[in-house]
Structure 1
Amino acid sequence: MKFFLAIFLLLTIFPSAIKALEKGKWSIIKEDEYCFIGSLPVETDLPEEKKRGDNYIIVYKYIGNPETIIQIEAGFNYDLNQDINVKIDNTNFIFYTTEDVSDAAWTNEDSKVIFAMKKGLELTISAKSSRGTLINDKYSLRGFTAELNKLNKDC
């Protein structure tokens, strides 16, 4: 169910709302049926000659539903044979992608990752694109807890 919900949100709802996200700042976006918080990376090591689409991290939920889900958007297709590593300070988590939506990643440990994000200062995503390019995106976690609290209160 989580996977199908994510595909629906990724393809139909989020694209226009994502434009409101800022580099290094966590923001809350509220819609009629769902809410999310998100941020853009403060740093990426993508070579200048390489191109990619929008990249961001969000935590979303439907209004009235306590489940929060983390989603990472790469802006490129991930290598399906490689895990996506998310490091929060000194703790590592593994995210996965699927063939159907190979530019997004999820985890089965949302609550553990969110707990670490609340305590952490920096989140780094290390991944390999389907073309073999290695990417490291860094996100600031300053302000994450305050926006997460708003998400849980208002949604």
Structure 2
Amino acid sequence: MVALSSVASAAQTPTRMNQYNDWGSYSYDSSGSKVCYVLSTPKTMQPSSVDHGDIFFLVSQKPGNKSAYEPQVVMGYPLRDGSKVTVDVDGKKFALFTRGESAWVENAAEEPQLVAALKAGRSMKVDAVSQRGTQTNYTYSLAGVTAAINSLASCK
């Protein structure tokens, strides 16, 4: 988790490596080692009447274990303290805990299951609650996610 919190701070200087349909692969240097991740932006954002800011779903390599991945949601607004974000991939739901503008898989043992669901899935929906109490939801295309995640294996 600590490494991913730094994704936000390092996000100003990532290098875009490749684009796989709706998913891009990126890297940045952190303390002399390369951190690689893939990300996508939502196809739809609801409610349409509010300013959502920049919204991302990303999957990054875990530091020290390049074959393990950590999914994360990054919002353009603060999430309600203590709230959960629900990620639904073709009906399979995962609970994410929130801190600030980000959310991570509550049960780390489910991270590989979420990554497998992304690879096998067709679409993903993310439901969240803003600090102000606004119910938000986002839909993502999973076109290209498998190739993008697989490309992380060659990122060194």
TM surpasses 0.5: yes
Instruction: Show the counterpart of 2:27.
Output: 30
149 and 79 in structure 1: CA distance in 2 versus 1, 3 angstrom threshold: same
- Cα distance 1:80–1:21, how it changes in 2: closer, same or farther (>3 A)? farther
1:4 aligns with 2:2: yes
Structure 1 residue 83 corresponds to structure 2 residue 92: no
2:140 maps to 139
* Aligned pairs (5 A) from 1:1-155: 3-11=1-9, 13-17=10-14, 25-32=22-29, 33-48=34-49, 50-61=50-61, 62=63, 65-98=66-99, 102-107=100-105, 108=108, 109-155=110-156
Residues 97/28 of structure 1: CA separation in 2 closer, same or farther (3 Å cut) = same
Q: TM-score, normalised by structure 1?
A: 0.84
Output the amino acid matched with 1:104.
S
Report the RMSD for the aligned CA atoms in angstroms: 2.4
Structure 1 residues 125-134 or 75-84, which shifts more? 75-84
Higher strand share: 2
Q: Is the 8 A contact 1:87 1:124 kept in 2?
A: yes
Structure 2: distance between partners of 1:21 and 1:81: 36
Q: Which runs of no fewer than 5 residues in structure 1 stay unpaired?
A: none
Cα distance in 2 for partners of 1:75, 1:84 equals 14
SS in 1 for 2:12: helix
Unmatched tracts of structure 2, length 5 or more: none
Percentage identity across aligned positions? 23
Kept after mapping to 1: 8 A contact 2:124/2:139: yes
Aligned to 2:148, the other structure's residue is in SS state helix
Letter in 1 for 2:43: V
Q: Aligned residue pairs: how many?
A: 147
Between the aligned partners of 2:40 and 2:147, the Cα distance in structure 1 is 13
Q: Which has the higher helix share?
A: 1
- Distance between the aligned counterparts of 1:63 and 1:30, measured in 2? 15
Shift in Å at residue 137 of structure 1?
0.4
